């Protein structure tokens, strides 16, 4: 969050306008809506890839910055970064992409035309569920504008966290490849399974019956994590609010770690058997 806030405070002037996607990281969205507004900064939230709305906002406002998570969390909507970057740049707006869910191995937004890319290093980059940190990459010109702000906010990385991140990154490509393969194989295994359906209660029972993954938020670490957004990240939303943003009662978010695929699959199948 320190990195996200530093970018917003450094690059959006008072009276500026921010465009963000509707399913961008919730805390960041709340910051834009409730705190930036106090500085006279206005914001519009658009649907991912709704180019017509984006074009309209760009034409009618002096947009300083476009901000999106891609893939989004937890719905995994993906942005056409190249197309959005071309459109935003033609109106003088910077493009800022939170690429935490893809990891730097699976998506490189700067190559696709974005100006700034953010990673919550708490996730894949550190990978061991023991560090809170973040990073922003972009041109030297933009980064030098952001640098002083993260000191002002008191959010520089502490040395022991920096050390753990450097150590963790050496195996990033190996871990992401394993996590990637596990996720794809699991999707194939489950897409035709007759018990993958159910209501809020059945889903809670399934999650509680799992023995390997930890029930927790966050993602991208060595240990598999599982969570049911309707009763965890979005516990304080009404059913109607959740439905509006696409959080179904029976939605489960897995973040696979680097355990053996066979062990994870056996665990999921035994928990399904309990339903």
Ligand X SMILES: *[C@@H]1O[C@H](CO)[C@@H](O)[C@H](O)[C@H]1NC(C)=O
Min CB(233)–ligand PLP separation in Å: 8
Residue 50-89 contact track with ligand X, rule CB under 6 A, x = bound: ----------------------------------------
Among ligand X, ligand PLP, none, partner that 249 touches (CB below 5 to 8 angstroms by kind): none
Q: Coil, helix or strand for 109?
A: coil
State which of positions 105-124 bind ligand X (CB under 6 A): 105-106
Examine residue 69 and tell whether it contacts ligand PLP (CB under 6 A): yes
- The Cα 253–Cα 224 span in angstroms is 11
**With binding defined as CB under 6 A, does residue 177 bind ligand X?**
yes
Question: Could you say whether residue 184 binds ligand X (CB under 6 A)?
Answer: yes
Say if CB 24 and CB 95 are below 8 A apart.
no
Nearest approach, Cβ of 210 to ligand X (angstroms)? 24
For residue 230, the SS3 value is coil
> Is residue 49 left, alpha or beta, with left meaning phi > 0 and alpha meaning psi from -120 to 50?
left
Q: How many CB atoms lie within 10 A of CB 14?
A: 8
Question: Which residues in 7-46 contact ligand PLP (CB under 6 A)?
Answer: 25
Based on the shown chain and the rule CB under 6 A, indicate whether residue 134 belongs to the binding site for ligand PLP. yes
Please tell me the distance from the alpha carbon of residue 126 to that of residue 133, in angstroms, as a whole number: 9
Nearer CB in complex with ligand X: 71/213: 71
User: Residue 180 interacts with ligand X (CB under 6 A)?
Assistant: yes
Q: Which stretch binds ligand X (CB under 6 A): 90-98, 114-122, 123-131, 176-184?
A: 176-184
- Cα-based distances in Å from 199 to 87, 195, 206, 243, 271: 41, 11, 11, 14, 15
From the list 20-28, 68-76, 83-91, 177-185, the region that binds ligand X by CB under 6 A is: 177-185
Instruction: Specify the 3-state DSSP secondary structure of 185.
Output: helix
Does the protein bind ligand X through residue 174 (CB under 6 A)? no
Given the rule CB under 6 A, which of 13-21, 172-180, 213-221, 225-233 is the region that contacts ligand X?
172-180
250 binds ligand X (CB under 6 A): no
Is the omega angle on the peptide bond into residue 71 within 30 degrees of 0, that is, cis?
Answer: yes
Instruction: Compute the least distance from the CB of residue 59 to ligand PLP, in Å.
Output: 29
| Binding site partner of 200, from ligand X, ligand PLP, none, Cβ cut-off 5-8 A by kind | none
> Taking Cα atoms as reference points, which of 264, 263, 232 lies closest to residue 247?
232
Least Cβ distance, residue 148 to ligand X (angstroms): 35
Nearer to ligand X, 152 or 177 (CB): 177
Q: In the numeric block, which tokens belong to residue 161?
A: 């966290």
Q: State the Cα–Cα distance between residues 275 and 252, nearest whole angstrom.
A: 15
For 147, residues 6+ apart whose C-beta sits below 8 A from its C-beta are none
**Separation of alpha carbons 34 and 226, rounded Å:** 30
Bridge-based pairing state of the strands 116-120 and 134-138: antiparallel
Residues that bind ligand X (CB under 6 A): 105-106, 176-177, 180, 184
Residues that bind ligand PLP (CB under 6 A): 1, 25, 69, 73, 98, 100-101, 120, 122, 132, 134
């Amino acid at each position: 969050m320190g990195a996200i806030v530093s970018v917003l405070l450094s690059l959006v002037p008072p009276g500026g306008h921010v465009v963000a996607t509707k399913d961008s990281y919730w805390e960041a969205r709340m910051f834009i809506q409730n705190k930036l507004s106090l500085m006279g900064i206005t914001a519009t939230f658009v649907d991912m890839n709704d180019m017509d709305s984006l074009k309209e906002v760009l034409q009618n406002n002096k947009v300083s910055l476009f901000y999106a998570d891609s893939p989004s969390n937890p719905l995994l909507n993906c942005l056409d970064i190249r197309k959005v970057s071309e459109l935003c740049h033609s109106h003088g707006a910077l493009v800022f992409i939170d690429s935490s869910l893809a990891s730097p191995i699976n998506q490189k937004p700067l190559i696709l035309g974005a100006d700034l890319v953010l990673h919550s290093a708490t996730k894949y980059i550190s990978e061991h569920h023991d560090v809170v940190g973040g990073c922003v990459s972009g041109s030297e010109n933009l980064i030098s504008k952001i640098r002083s702000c993260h000191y002002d906010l008191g959010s520089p990385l502490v040395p022991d966290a920096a050390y753990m991140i450097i150590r963790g990154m050496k195996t990033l490509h190996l871990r992401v490849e394993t996590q990637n393969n596990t996720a794809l194989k699991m999707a194939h295994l489950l897409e035709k399974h007759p018990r993958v359906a159910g209501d809020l209660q059945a889903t809670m029972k399934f999650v509680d019956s799992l023995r390997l993954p930890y029930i927790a938020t966050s993602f991208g670490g060595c240990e598999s994590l599982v969570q049911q957004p309707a009763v965890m990240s979005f516990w304080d939303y009404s059913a109607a609010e959740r439905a509006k943003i696409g959080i179904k009662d029976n939605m489960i978010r897995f973040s696979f770690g680097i355990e053996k695929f066979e062990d994870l699959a056996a665990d999921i199948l035994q928990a399904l058997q309990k339903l």
